[in-house]
Chain A
Amino acid sequence: MSAPTELSPSLISTLPGHSYTDPVIFAEEQEKIFEARWFAAARSAEIDGTGAFRTVDVGRENVVLVRGRDGQLRAFLNVCRHRGARVCMEQSGVAKRNLQCGYHAWTYGLDGKLVAAPNLTKMPDIDRTEFGLVPVHLREWLGYAWVCVADEPPSFEETVIGAVAERLGGADVIDGWDIDNLVVGRRIRYEVTANWKLIIENFMECYHCATIHPELTEVLPEFADGYAAQYFVGHGAAFAEEAKGFTVDGSEGLTAIPGVDESHDRKYYAITVNPQVFINLVPDHVIFHRMYPVAADRTVVECDWLYLPEVVEGGKDLDRSVELFHRVNQQDFDACERCQLAATSKAYAEGGVLVPSEHHIGAFHTWVTEQLAQ
């Protein structure tokens, strides 16, 4: 069995099957994509107070994000400059005074500078800044700490803010949701046995919506036609007339975010920021997904449901609100896992095809191919 060599005009081809399974390609993607781009690592407000830290895998690196005595968040490679031991072993915590390596007690200030080490005063030639933790580029936007482990990061304005602006049809449109000041009402972590690209591809198209997302297509009837919000620029999918809110049963949602204007009311917007962030916008909340690729066939997705502070602090019932997209996530990730199962089949060796409502995924494949060619 072989894939057609000449494709009908309706179809364009996907990446070949091994692109989703080959550990060598995955390592290349880690290096040339995840270690080269801006990566949403953590919700800034969750690294709260002096010495609070979080550690996150970014590509093949492990990064520690830590809040200093001056209130500033900083990021460093989580590697001792002495013999290379990992400095912070926990995923999160609060450093009492400093960040200290548990091997020989090389001790770094919250600003990364080498503060102390056994016999350090007998080695006055050691520059404490040069032998400090290696800094990682950090930007805070939409309430998240975005890091880039590359020496020279790409423009944040172009690659992150620009991706959002391109989808929404303007750089300041997203400001209406005031995402910086929303609060995490629920976080769900999904361990998905699928390649990260399958998850992005799935998120970009809605050809599958009528088949696997009954609840979503009830609330967003146009999704049954198969055209995702990501197919268009500045287009929001309108809520069904009978839907009171973006909830699993179409019941009333939570308090609407005041900055969302009338033209964005009762609509759903979806944005991909390559390579690992998806953002969904509805009038009363924001769903913010971060993907952490673990292996060629394994990806962790951490999904935050963000609401107005008064909604979360007031203990409002979020269940029906969260349940809608939680089901969508489960349905999507099940589908991605089905694809992963078949990615090694000779039936998929040359890949599959994209129908017209999926053709914009071709641009993602081109982007991936271009990154790997660099």
Chain B
Amino acid sequence: MILVGRLDDIPLGEAVRIDGDVPVAVFNVDGRLFAIDDTCTHQDASLADGWLEGCMVECPLHASCFDLRTGMPSGPPARTPVRTHEVVVDDGLVYVRVTAAVGAGV
């Protein structure tokens, strides 16, 4: 598991980006945490910098939307889903268990 940081450091409606071999973004949607690959599958852009609306994040570059629950893009220009990852909260700390497969559930 990767340590993301303190729960308090991910405000409502915001996201944090964890750098690594494959960067991951963790979103706080009304107190529910979701983790997906941070990089848009269309062009290299950080989805953590995107626009969060409900369980969808809109890529800041070309407005492809990804469902945080499934990783599926809603439409072009992105065609490939991002991976989703399990989020674990333990004693006020947030961890991500990075999954191997694309499209795996939380």
Which of A113-121, A235-243, A326-334, A341-349 has 4 or more CB atoms under 8 Å from chain B? A113-121
> By the criterion CB–CB under 8 Å, are B44 and A121 in contact?
yes
> By the criterion CB–CB under 8 Å, are B61 and A121 in contact?
no
Which of B28-36, B45-53, B68-76, B84-92 has 4 or more CB atoms under 8 Å from chain A? B45-53
Q: Across the two chains, which residue of chain A brings its CB closest to B39?
A: A121
- Report the Cα distance A96→B60, complex, angstroms: 11
> By the criterion CB–CB under 8 Å, are B60 and A115 in contact?
yes
Q: Mask for B64-104, Cβ within 8 A of A = 1, else 0?
A: 00000000000000000000000000000000000000000
> By the criterion CB–CB under 8 Å, are B43 and A121 in contact?
no
Partner among B19, B49, B63 whose Cβ is within 8 Å of the Cβ of A115: B49
Contact A118/B45 with A97-B60, A98-B60, A107-B60 known, Cβ cut-off 8 Å: yes
- Report the Cα distance A97→B45, complex, angstroms: 16
> By the criterion CB–CB under 8 Å, are A116 and B58 in contact?
no
Flag whether A122 is at the interface (Cβ < 8 A): yes
Contact A116/B61 with A97-B51, A121-B23, A122-B44 known, Cβ cut-off 8 Å: yes
Flag whether B62 is at the interface (Cβ < 8 A): yes
A sample of 17 inter-chain contacts (CB < 8 A) reads A97-B51, A97-B58, A100-B61, A105-B43, A115-B49, A115-B60, A117-B61, A118-B43, A118-B44, A118-B45, A119-B44, A120-B45, A121-B23, A121-B38, A121-B39, A121-B46, A122-B44
Partner among A96, A105, A122 whose Cβ is within 8 Å of the Cβ of B61: A105
- Report the Cα distance A183→B104, complex, angstroms: 57
A104 to chain B, nearest CB (A): 9
Contact A107/B44 with A115-B49, A121-B38 known, Cβ cut-off 8 Å: no
Task: Please name all residues of chain B whose beta carbon is closer than 8 Å to the beta carbon of A117 when the two chains form the complex.
Answer: 45, 61
Task: Please name all residues of chain A whose beta carbon is closer than 8 Å to the beta carbon of B58 when the two chains form the complex.
Answer: 97
List 14 additional A-B contacts (Cβ < 8 Å) besides A98-B60, A105-B62, A121-B46. Answer: A96-B63, A100-B61, A105-B61, A107-B60, A115-B49, A115-B60, A116-B46, A116-B49, A116-B50, A118-B44, A120-B45, A120-B49, A121-B23, A121-B39
- Report the Cα distance A98→B60, complex, angstroms: 8
Q: Mask for A128-162, Cβ within 8 A of B = 1, else 0?
A: 00000000000000000000000000000000000
> By the criterion CB–CB under 8 Å, are A116 and B45 in contact?
yes
Task: Please name all residues of chain A whose beta carbon is closer than 8 Å to the beta carbon of B49 when the two chains form the complex.
Answer: 115-116, 120
- Report the Cα distance A134→B13, complex, angstroms: 28
Give the interface of B toward A (CB within 8 A): 17, 19, 23, 38-39, 43-46, 49-51, 58, 60-63
Task: Please name all residues of chain A whose beta carbon is closer than 8 Å to the beta carbon of B62 when the two chains form the complex.
Answer: 105
Task: Please name all residues of chain B whose beta carbon is closer than 8 Å to the beta carbon of A120 when the two chains form the complex.
Answer: 45-46, 49
The residues in A between 96 and 111 inclusive whose CB is less than 8 angstroms from any CB of B are 96-98, 100, 105, 107
Task: Please name all residues of chain A whose beta carbon is closer than 8 Å to the beta carbon of B45 when the two chains form the complex.
Answer: 116-118, 120
A45 to chain B, nearest CB (A): 27
- Report the Cα distance A150→B62, complex, angstroms: 34
Q: Across the two chains, which residue of chain B brings its CB closest to A121?
A: B46
B43 to chain A, nearest CB (A): 5
Q: Which of B19, B23, B49 gathers most chain A CB within 10 Å?
A: B49
Task: Please name all residues of chain B whose beta carbon is closer than 8 Å to the beta carbon of A121 when the two chains form the complex.
Answer: 17, 19, 23, 38-39, 44, 46
Task: Please name all residues of chain B whose beta carbon is closer than 8 Å to the beta carbon of A118 when the two chains form the complex.
Answer: 43-45, 61
A163 to chain B, nearest CB (A): 43
- Report the Cα distance A122→B43, complex, angstroms: 13
Task: Please name all residues of chain A whose beta carbon is closer than 8 Å to the beta carbon of B39 when the two chains form the complex.
Answer: 121
Task: Please name all residues of chain B whose beta carbon is closer than 8 Å to the beta carbon of A105 when the two chains form the complex.
Answer: 43, 61-62
Task: Please name all residues of chain B whose beta carbon is closer than 8 Å to the beta carbon of A116 when the two chains form the complex.
Answer: 45-46, 49-50, 60-61
Q: Across the two chains, which residue of chain A brings its CB closest to B46?
A: A121
Q: Across the two chains, which residue of chain B brings its CB closest to A124?
A: B19
- Report the Cα distance A121→B50, complex, angstroms: 13
Task: Please name all residues of chain A whose beta carbon is closer than 8 Å to the beta carbon of B60 when the two chains form the complex.
Answer: 97-98, 107, 115-116
Task: Please name all residues of chain B whose beta carbon is closer than 8 Å to the beta carbon of A115 when the two chains form the complex.
Answer: 49, 60
Q: Which of B19, B44, B60 gathers most chain A CB within 10 Å?
A: B60
- Report the Cα distance A107→B50, complex, angstroms: 11
- Report the Cα distance A174→B44, complex, angstroms: 54
Task: Please name all residues of chain A whose beta carbon is closer than 8 Å to the beta carbon of B38 when the two chains form the complex.
Answer: 121
B80 to chain A, nearest CB (A): 17
A128 to chain B, nearest CB (A): 9
Task: Please name all residues of chain B whose beta carbon is closer than 8 Å to the beta carbon of A97 when the two chains form the complex.
Answer: 51, 58, 60, 63
Q: Which of B44, B51, B61 gathers most chain A CB within 10 Å?
A: B61
- Report the Cα distance A184→B61, complex, angstroms: 37
